[in-house]
Structure 1
């Protein structure tokens, strides 16, 4: 399925009644930090779409070889 800014793939296994869905989203311009980027994408992809005001449950950002 293709929508504006996202392509999603769904696999349904009728035998064991399981499913998987993956979405690939169009890239966006960085807001300058990983936290600002996450907050912006949360608002766009989750909060507005699902009409939620609950904040996301966060985790600490890990770093590997200079990348977050």
Structure 2
């Protein structure tokens, strides 16, 4: 049975998520999106867009 663990870390969100995913050998990251990344400007500031580029595993973004 899987367990749930809570943890607090500071830093830039995409980098922290990638570090944790790498440390815990995560096979999939699932995250929500606020749909602001449809414009070019929104993509530059989008955590989900940055995470897709950096993640050590697949990322599923749920709108």
Q: Which has the higher helix share?
A: 2
Structure 1 or 2: more strand by fraction: 1
Q: TM-score range by the shorter chain?
A: 0.3 to 0.5
Q: Name the structure, 1 or 2, with higher relative contact order (CA <8 Å, separation 6+).
A: 2
> What is the TM-score with the length of structure 2 in the denominator?
0.37
Q: TM-score, normalised by structure 1?
A: 0.35
